[in-house]
Amino acid sequence: MDNRKLDKEIIDKILLRVVKSDDVEFLYSISNNEELMKIFCDDKSSLEEWINYFHMWQQDDDEEVYIIIRKSDNKYLGWTGINGLLSEEKIVWIKMIALLPEFWGKGYGYTTINKLKDIINENGFNKVRLWTDKCNKRSQECYFNNGFKIIDEQESLVGTLNIPRERLLMEYTYRENR
């Protein structure tokens, strides 16, 4: 797929909006999606847990969490979050991108990352990093198409189930010196 064509077709069709209290039910719902739970090695979560997460995010200046919304019908497609906003090294981490499975392979992940990179760049950061599972080829392709490169590899415990996984550390660099 030609990414320039994808940009023109989709980039203006989604919105990243900071999470509000009204979004907690959606976050709870998506977190309990069976396919996503397998990918993220997570166990079922409760609505109360997501209410607590929301309140923690509201008080954490180092982190920002967004709902991914299709503009044409205000359909919630997923959520994403970044942290490291107070980093002296000017490195921000994409901590999560979770799209509902019916939106996989349609350019929404690519566009979400692109929009996150724009937000991060506008705030003067030098680099964006993320961890991904070595076996998650679909996500890796999306990250590579957004200019990320692999900078490290290691095994770590993933998700609330603490499943050991081979992980890749990926990085996107805006400019070496800002």
Model pLDDT, residue 45: 82
- pTM assigned to the model: 0.85
Angstrom CA distances, 126 to 27, 94, 110, 178, stand at 30, 14, 20, 7
CA distance 14 to 76: 10
Nearest Cα residue to 94 out of 49, 41, 147: 147
Q: Which two tokens stand for residue 28?
A: 């709870």
Report percent pLDDT > 70 for the chain: 87
The sign of the CA dihedral 168, 88, 119, 38 is positive
pLDDT tens, position by position, 28-54 = 888 887 887 677 767 788 889 889 989
Angstrom CA distances, 53 to 20, 46, 142, stand at 12, 11, 27
pLDDT tens, position by position, 145-178 = 999 999 999 988 766 666 677 889 999 999 654 4
Mean pLDDT, range 98-123, rounded to an integer: 91
Fold adopted by 3-173: Aminopeptidase (3.40.630)
Highest mean pLDDT range out of 2-6, 8-12, 124-128?
124-128
Model pLDDT, residue 19: 94
CB atoms within 10 A of CB 170: 22
pLDDT band at 3 (very low <50, low <70, confident <90, very high): very low
Mean pLDDT, range 91-119, rounded to an integer: 92
Residue 69 and residue 79 in contact, taking contact as beta carbons nearer than 8 Å:
no
